[in-house]
Structure 1
């Protein structure tokens, strides 16, 4: 009753999906709510909690003590935003509810107080929840829990953070058997997959699917250069900065999304260079300091900024209603990601979200069109679910031991109720337990790996597992977590003010006196210490830090749509003249990649022989294919000299021509050769470093000191070599292999390329470079440079690639198809 009156007082209509969420809660079932951005999803998730504290529900009784509802989000910023928005109904309804946040930024004294006297609603992240569960008081803390609300579930359920949260859900359900699980999302491609992930034991019948009312269709457009000439190459789309600035001037608040931290800093810098009106423009990304992020978030919430340049650090759920335009710089790489980002504009169900897509090159123009069409048609994409990581499972086991002694069989039963770990058998479980206990066969002689031990029961059999020493709990809490970034260096002024962090490798490239641009400031290096860089304001602009974060791959769904645009010749009429001409000359001189086929072009250029394979399978798969193909070229005497890849194609070149590409792409390349390449490359070592840190085998943080990246790498490399030699089937080597296959090399999409190579390969030989090959060839020599660090058009003019590709100097078709 009180909630209905509150909605009416605000002039709001209670949405059907909001009342459905109240009904599902009353029935005792779990719920997955899928609703458009601006539909009031988060409020719908909390309505049952607010109802529990309404006077009519309390009926004169005191409000319940203890933790009532957990809210879990993938971003700290989202938790703080939700706290601000929740306080409004709580205060206006006069409800006796205490709401607090908890993350890595929360002061330690507040964290301790939250464990002793928890709020009614706690807003947190998967990592902070796992840490809370590692304390002995977890049983008391979570025993009163009635509901957990998981926001933006699509953002992490399919990855390792989702594995960690799924395991935490099993623990919470054991501590609070009547716990109701709720998940929210606007961009779920297959709801049943997420219902299975959310449900205990994957039982879909226990999870109600609540679908939201449809909102106003988005107002989307692709921004083109004023001269209508879309660049050949590059991803930065810096050509658009003057037009972007005009759009910022014409709107109240503009949110500019970039796919990388480097690009965010670059675009922010270029916007300030043209900011003749001195408009307040901010920047936000995950490497900035907590203080800098909070300052910008507060300014946005108060409507003080005209524009904010951001990365994925702000593309989930943050509700700033005054944003009237969203800009996506570069390709979105997926329709769900684009939909999520454009939903930040207006953030109201009955108003269209306005967005501009700014392509960096001609392929990205096609990708932008494909994404726009997908959004208009309501098509979503996303990553597939896969078995849970064993490194995450090992971390969970150690956390469980920190909370108190446990029975191994009972914990296995608990773990198997989580969908990612439903397939964990007794043998695998035994190996995980013994890894946590001793480090494994090859490491069990070292005392520091002896973390848990199994008691003997009264009859001489095995009893409970417990910590070997309390200090292991403190070490676990210092190092637990799933996100393993490249090692970072703190950037700060001498007065102690922190600006954020840059990667250790970038910091090592700078000497005292060098300048760089970070957090929107021009900085000069004063000194570089072991874990921090001291800086001061500089009078000149230097380079922008680059980061080694994983690239966003083009989704399969969007890839298929791009190929469909290429095949639809009648639809080319709506393309800009230079894009249409690019495709028409390609069609005349060579061929276009058709859906279901694999086009390979061979041609000479600059005294070398090139082959371009148009896979459309994303950068990780193409990069892996380049490594494997050049190895085969060496074996076949073709004298490979190098390769370069983007999301759409792989280009290889050598001293002799590729005449039989099918032989280079035969399926057995994924058997012995793939294994040999991965084992001999940095990939497996890099994957092992990550799983070793997640599993707790190697610690980054020690009391009062953090290891440098070099120290962590040295430790993991040493252990890796020992395990490869003495225990090649070690549980962490298995986990590293799983990561290398799935995440780093994208082997499933790579296998699809090889399958098409045997059944639908089209080989065209040309006398010179083709128009379609130019965007990938222009990247040669620039792969080691940050995106946007060079002017693509100048490079093209220097090499003459575009002129050679588009020159029409003979009426005869120059290519010949095999």
Structure 2
């Protein structure tokens, strides 16, 4: 019970303000007031536009209506800086209109230093912040004074923090707050939660679930798939075929948000729309890589109604309240039901009124994904990440953070960590290893002064060894590690050569010595990675072994993948799809098979003097990428001479010199492929070093920033590679090596999902030997994904058009085969 929390459920001035807006207090808002009065924490799940944010703040505003003292009463935690600005703007209106004596401020990485200093001395009543800024404030010696009277903590868009390192990081901050202000109440807010009970447990202190309050969605969104007269391509991510349609839709709507899945897509789509912008409509671009000034300017223009459209990424999908948005356009596959609902919820943003949305699939498989998402939303279904064990590389960061504020003991910190739901399974032995690493780096590193971070005091407590330790820590708080790129060095003689471009690490970390790949118009043989350069020599005589990997793609949710499978096996529902997609599926059904829901369809056919095998897994790009690596290794052992493979979210294509038969299938699609092949590959690929680098940065083993300088990825990599090799040799059981291995299996390989697939479908395959490529195989075989236009872009567009023409030619061959087979 929070003493003196509410003297009345809704004071007269609040009731009058609600009436002046034409509103009445809704039942769930009344329940929020009652639960706050009774000291009960709550997870509020309510549809967009239902007044969810105001409902979360309402008890706090009522409690502070006559407040005169200056202290931090309510803390609001948002996963996005943009959301704190939006909430600040919207929260000031009722406060000012009711002339409440309540101060509200934001505290993010964009907040000037002088304002941060002032906030520590004279905090506002309500502080709007992010997880990283909160943890930084907790590292100061005056943290007990700042947070000591805290009564209320609101965690917005809580679903976005489940099952990832940033969420684990947030729960540790909440656990620390629990020691400074034991009586504070937690409130979680979200519009899209797949498993409310699990999220309620995640949110609660010591894993005790908070109370659940779910508000029914009375207005289902109106969602349609674009019906374009243009030919829908078989592959690609940009939907260039539909640019004119998208532009005309924007021109007819009042205000539109156009969502894409990556920053690169946002940049390119923005350019394509401006090339089509004959009416010179005010269209803006928004994503996380833009400067603070550009983002703020766009936010202000949108809020004041000066824009007709914004092309954006997930940076605007969470909670931004622009009530005048008329339409949301999703370009490309949604990848998840909950994610799509979040984005659609940005339109209209009014309760009891349906949001309007248009889905623009970039290719034919994506049309299936779009329809599966529409079906799921109509049924009220949700998806989302599952709660899992907390990431252990965050714990050393948390230990140092606490020690920066005041001297600590391992016993007290272990108990605090156990109070964070994701870490309740952390063993004392694991904690002790992480504690020792935090103190001096462990056995292999303790001789180096750099890793002497904590010093024991006479009373058995520990404090930072120096001011430098504190500075290093505070400048590197958080779990976000920037992805690096590698320069490609084309070697001719000895070790001499020249730089011919850059590739993403996601591509490079998949390679092992001897693998070949296409780059800059020629075939190269991978030799190794040295000093953040990928060294490769020209090679001839065989096709590239590893395809280019496009980083940054959102993962296909398991729920939506199952929805695509169901849709494929319900021909009666195909009428909802674009006509050309219906024809494509009908041809597949007549020529080969539609993948069954309880089996994996495997097709084989000759193509370009080789044999291609297609595995329709529907398990996402990462799982398929890993499966491709393992299957090609086993094919090599079987003498099938695999040459290359390509992946999409929906399947895997393997090219080999020799054909498969039924006996090969039984050997290839087996759970035991996760044994020797996986271990051999992981030990020889640079993947574990990449994973270790991420772990090293988060755990404080190395840092990205120090003073006013920022280390290059080359410097960070040189340091972490050296440490990795040292630990492998002298302390192979070091806790961070274990964490790096677990991270690689989970984040890079999606091993759990792949293992589930192999176990579920062992002995359940449909193998079909075909004379020609099947309709459904075309987009996977051609792997028409790369649509980045460089320079003038004419050649890239010509190449893309040639691929589409080849795809249409393949489909014509299938039609001819079916026609000739008819009596």
TM-score normalised by structure 1 residue count? 0.89
Q: Matched residues in 1 for 2:579 and 2:245: separation?
A: 20
Query: How far apart are 1:809 and its partner, in Å?
Result: 4.8
Is the CA contact 1:35–1:185 (under 8 Å) kept in the aligned structure 2? yes
Query: How far apart are 1:230 and its partner, in Å?
Result: 2.5
Is it true that 1:755 corresponds to 2:764 in the alignment? no
Q: Matched residues in 1 for 2:222 and 2:671: separation?
A: 45
Give the equivalent residue in structure 2 for 1:608.
610
Q: Matched residues in 1 for 2:364 and 2:712: separation?
A: 41
Aligned-partner SS, 1:220: strand
Give the equivalent residue in structure 2 for 1:47.
58
Is the CA contact 1:72–1:125 (under 8 Å) kept in the aligned structure 2? yes
Give the equivalent residue in structure 2 for 1:210.
213
Cα 1:575–1:780, aligned 2, differ >3 Å: closer, same or farther?
A: closer
Aligned-partner SS, 1:357: strand
Is the CA contact 1:189–1:382 (under 8 Å) kept in the aligned structure 2? yes
Is the CA contact 2:368–2:577 (under 8 Å) kept in the aligned structure 1? no
Cα 1:487–1:109, aligned 2, differ >3 Å: closer, same or farther?
A: farther
Give the equivalent residue in structure 2 for 1:15.
26
Query: How far apart are 1:757 and its partner, in Å?
Result: 4.0
Give the equivalent residue in structure 1 for 2:415.
413
Is the CA contact 1:218–1:352 (under 8 Å) kept in the aligned structure 2? yes
Cα 1:487–1:733, aligned 2, differ >3 Å: closer, same or farther?
A: same
Is the CA contact 2:70–2:122 (under 8 Å) kept in the aligned structure 1? no
Give the equivalent residue in structure 2 for 1:552.
554
Query: How far apart are 1:471 and its partner, in Å?
Result: 1.7
Is the CA contact 2:74–2:125 (under 8 Å) kept in the aligned structure 1? yes
Give the paired residue count. 748
Q: Matched residues in 1 for 2:21 and 2:785: separation?
A: 59
Is it true that 1:797 corresponds to 2:805 in the alignment? yes
Q: Matched residues in 2 for 1:329 and 1:663: separation?
A: 40
Query: How far apart are 1:808 and its partner, in Å?
Result: 2.7
TM-score normalised by structure 2 residue count? 0.88
Moved more, 357-366 or 699-708: 699-708
Is the CA contact 1:326–1:355 (under 8 Å) kept in the aligned structure 2? yes
Cα 1:782–1:285, aligned 2, differ >3 Å: closer, same or farther?
A: closer
Is the CA contact 1:28–1:180 (under 8 Å) kept in the aligned structure 2? yes
Alignment match of 1:225 (pick from 220, 223, 228): 228
Q: Matched residues in 1 for 2:50 and 2:471: separation?
A: 43
Query: How far apart are 1:784 and its partner, in Å?
Result: 10
Q: Matched residues in 1 for 2:504 and 2:200: separation?
A: 44
Is it true that 1:807 corresponds to 2:816 in the alignment? yes
Q: Matched residues in 2 for 1:26 and 1:676: separation?
A: 59
Deviations 1:34-77 (A, max 9, x none): 000011111101001110122xxx4xxx5232101010011000
Is the CA contact 2:236–2:785 (under 8 Å) kept in the aligned structure 1? no
Q: Matched residues in 2 for 1:580 and 1:242: separation?
A: 23
Aligned-partner SS, 1:277: coil
Alignment match of 1:591 (pick from 593, 611, 627): 593
Give the equivalent residue in structure 2 for 1:524.
none
Aligned-partner SS, 1:182: strand
Note the aligned Cα RMSD (angstroms).
2.2
Matches within 5 A, 1:685-704: 685-704=689-708
Gaps of 5+ in 1: 458-462, 490-503, 509-545
Deviations 1:87-113 (A, max 9, x none): 000000111111111111111111111
Give the equivalent residue in structure 1 for 2:350.
348
Q: Matched residues in 2 for 1:127 and 1:695: separation?
A: 14
Is the CA contact 1:32–1:208 (under 8 Å) kept in the aligned structure 2? yes
Q: Matched residues in 1 for 2:467 and 2:552: separation?
A: 36
Matches within 5 A, 1:192-271: 192-204=197-209, 207-227=210-230, 229-271=231-273
Is it true that 1:97 corresponds to 2:102 in the alignment? yes
Matches within 5 A, 1:278-293: 278-293=280-295
Q: Matched residues in 2 for 1:403 and 1:328: separation?
A: 45
Query: How far apart are 1:158 and its partner, in Å?
Result: 1.7
Q: Matched residues in 1 for 2:377 and 2:247: separation?
A: 26
Is it true that 1:467 corresponds to 2:464 in the alignment? yes
Aligned-partner SS, 2:743: helix
Give the equivalent residue in structure 2 for 1:162.
167
Matches within 5 A, 1:451-462: 451-457=453-459
Q: Matched residues in 2 for 1:347 and 1:549: separation?
A: 32
Q: Matched residues in 2 for 1:474 and 1:242: separation?
A: 52
Deviations 1:356-383 (A, max 9, x none): 0000111100100000111111100001
Cα 1:348–1:783, aligned 2, differ >3 Å: closer, same or farther?
A: closer
Q: Matched residues in 2 for 1:313 and 1:36: separation?
A: 19
Give the equivalent residue in structure 2 for 1:381.
383
Is the CA contact 2:604–2:769 (under 8 Å) kept in the aligned structure 1? yes
Aligned-partner SS, 1:641: strand
Alignment match of 1:681 (pick from 679, 682, 685): 685
Is the CA contact 1:643–1:652 (under 8 Å) kept in the aligned structure 2? yes
Is the CA contact 2:162–2:385 (under 8 Å) kept in the aligned structure 1? no
Give the equivalent residue in structure 2 for 1:618.
620
Deviations 1:541-571 (A, max 9, x none): xxxxx99753211111111111111111222
Is the CA contact 2:371–2:576 (under 8 Å) kept in the aligned structure 1? no
Is it true that 1:576 corresponds to 2:578 in the alignment? yes
Is the CA contact 1:282–1:296 (under 8 Å) kept in the aligned structure 2? yes
Matches within 5 A, 1:134-533: 134-204=139-209, 207-227=210-230, 229-457=231-459, 463-487=460-484, 505=502
Give the equivalent residue in structure 2 for 1:496.
none
Give the equivalent residue in structure 1 for 2:117.
112
Query: How far apart are 1:167 and its partner, in Å?
Result: 0.4
Cα 1:81–1:465, aligned 2, differ >3 Å: closer, same or farther?
A: same
Aligned-partner SS, 1:445: coil
Aligned-partner SS, 2:393: helix
Deviations 1:220-276 (A, max 9, x none): 10002124x432111111111111111111111100001011111111001111111
Alignment match of 1:735 (pick from 732, 736, 739): 739
Query: How far apart are 1:804 and its partner, in Å?
Result: 3.2
Give the equivalent residue in structure 1 for 2:509.
none
Matches within 5 A, 1:123-142: 123-142=128-147
Q: Matched residues in 2 for 1:671 and 1:345: separation?
A: 48
Aligned-partner SS, 1:777: helix
Q: Matched residues in 1 for 2:558 and 2:390: separation?
A: 22
Is the CA contact 1:582–1:806 (under 8 Å) kept in the aligned structure 2? no
Alignment match of 2:768 (pick from 746, 764, 768): 764
Is it true that 1:26 corresponds to 2:29 in the alignment? no
Aligned-partner SS, 2:768: strand
Aligned-partner SS, 1:119: coil
Q: Matched residues in 1 for 2:639 and 2:392: separation?
A: 41
Cα 1:619–1:506, aligned 2, differ >3 Å: closer, same or farther?
A: closer
Give the equivalent residue in structure 1 for 2:80.
75
Aligned-partner SS, 2:461: strand
Is the CA contact 2:604–2:613 (under 8 Å) kept in the aligned structure 1? yes
Query: How far apart are 1:506 and its partner, in Å?
Result: 7.7
Aligned-partner SS, 2:280: coil
Query: How far apart are 1:639 and its partner, in Å?
Result: 1.0
Query: How far apart are 1:79 and its partner, in Å?
Result: 0.4
Deviations 1:569-616 (A, max 9, x none): 222244333222211221122111111211111111010111000000
Aligned-partner SS, 1:594: coil
Cα 1:797–1:751, aligned 2, differ >3 Å: closer, same or farther?
A: same
